[in-house]
Amino acid sequence: MIFRDQLAIRTRGRGTYEVTAEVRSLLQQSKVSTGLCHVFCRHTSASLTITENADPAVRRDLEQAMARLAPDGAGYEHDAEGPDDMAAHVRAVLTRPDLVIPVAGNALVLGTWQGIFLWEHRLDPHAREIVVTVIGE
């Protein structure tokens, strides 16, 4: 069985947005008991990550580390949409557009402190689309 649906996420600008509950809801709708859940971000300046969902300091520290790796306004040639334009693309390339999570018992097989996050790399708010595909039986 294959199930596919889409999430619409409105961001408030750069940062992480937990989408674990929304992905779980789609998985439950799929009725797949055992299989894989593929989560895909349809954008080149945002990405997905699985990280700790208990202590928000982890996500703040990740954002600070990423700012050192891909700073805004670092003299990039591609800056048509502002100083965060190319930095957002670099950040998305360094992370991932997609995740694959095992499914067992119609549940995501995530660790105790793991959550699924959309990582917005642009400074301004954006409307983002995430495609969730569940494959299994």
Q: What is the CATH number of the domain that holds 41?
A: 2.60.120.460
pLDDT given for residue 117 in this prediction: 98
Cα dihedral value 17, 22, 24, 27, nearest 10: -130
Average pLDDT over residues 33-53: 98
b or e along 30-58 (b: 16 or more beta carbons within 10 Å of the residue's beta carbon)?
bebeebebebbbebebbbbbbebbeeeee
Place of tokens 């992480």: 16
Q: What is the pLDDT of residues 95-129, one digit of tens each?
A: 999 999 999 999 999 999 999 999 999 999 999 99
Closest to 15 measured CA to CA, from 73, 84, 101: 84
Q: Report the distance separating Cα 46 and Cα 50, nearest Å.
A: 14
> Rounded to two decimals, what is the model's pTM?
0.96
pLDDT given for residue 106 in this prediction: 98
Domain around 71: 2-136
Count up the domains in the chain and report the number: 1
Q: What is the pLDDT of residues 2-32, one digit of tens each?
A: 999 999 999 999 999 999 999 999 999 999 9
